Structure 1
């Protein structure tokens, strides 16, 4: 089964549901995007996932990130289920996430999103819970794959997107548990002589028992 690697361009799949259609590359159209898969409609964990994603949709939109949700259900099933999701999420009006019906599992199979441990019948396994963050260049920038028993943390996905945005423009990295506003790491490839010009707000160094000079922090608002 093909598996997407970071940096790979996503295939230009045709996306279809009961309300709209088009292809993936046109949907992205120079923006960042999140494609996440879920096993099935009218199931409890999936309902909580789509509910939380919908509640946080304004935060994704604020960052210019479009949202796609993929399952192996058909469009009519999705349309009915979304009313439950909206009630559970406490939102009204148009659902803020585009749902993609992948009944023949062609997209799920091509992206390696099939959960072989959780078939819904002998021949038709369901999708796992996966997140693909896609850049404006249509390339995979980040992925997370969970078993169907464990729902995603969409706050962590937002945090990861903020990190991706941060390192797009600066030669830095974000440490464990980083949040916007926290200091970021100066990557080892930056020589000490360039610190003053690259990081005008200063660099904090840490003395390590090894004696190696590699732990450096700088404010993220430069």
Structure 2
């Protein structure tokens, strides 16, 4: 698949947004960023999504993450559409920037092109893509949804916290993990190191193999 993916550095593109022009790396700074695209302004699923992003904005800010939207419509269209988004979301303000990409150049470089959907004049449309970018400006996680399926904002929050815990501690999050639940210790950490790194203690799952690779702790 063309464009960036997990482990790639986001190119330092200069973009025009509803909050002015800037380079992506300047906007990212040294924080986490949730960079997401939507197929088009004044469309139903996208309106619900951007409204929910606005509703969750304070939650993301508390977790040290910024929001940055993108579609191929122009700034004038974005600004008009924002009025609908805010009205539908119960008055939550769209405080995050939305990138304009009428030439369809940025969506290609950011791997946000829908392989099936086209505009009325045959132009490529953005997929419903989302990259979580780390403080090092590298893509840490990507979601790719078709235009017909809206994202789950609670899942975005969950995976952001998972990534942040993994970055801070040598841990991973198990299946169906939710914030506040126990995490697993990385296999690269031996038991002696684990005792030192996790003074709160940890528990080892009793498995038929009797191997001690599945260790749970709280962080």
- Report the CA distance between 1:95 and its aligned residue: 2.1
CA separation in 2, counterparts of 1:49 and 1:183?
30
1:167 alignment partner, SS class: helix
Query: Does the aligned pair in 1 maintain the 2:19–2:97 contact within 8 Å?
Result: no
State how 1:63-212 maps to structure 2 within 5 Å: 63-92=63-92, 94-212=93-211
Counterpart-to-counterpart distance in 2, 1:173 and 1:135: 16
Aligned match of 2:22: 22
Q: Shift of the alpha carbon at 1:18?
A: 4.8
Cα separation, 2, equivalents of 1:112 and 1:121: 21
* Corresponding residue number in structure 1 for 2:45: 45
Aligned residues: 219
5+ residue gaps, structure 1, are: none
1:9 Cα deviation after fit? 1.0
| 8 Å CA contact retained: 2:18, 2:97 | no
Structure 1 distance, partners of 2:160, 2:184, is: 17
| Greater shift in the superposed pair: 172-181 or 69-78 | 172-181
Change (3 A) 1:123 1:95: same
- TM-score calculated relative to the size of structure 1: 0.93
CA contact 2:3–2:108 (8 Å) conserved in 1? no
Deviations 1:45-80 (A, max 9, x none): 001110111100001111121111000111111111
RMSD of the TM alignment (CA)? 1.5
Task: Return the offset for 1:119.
Answer: 0.7
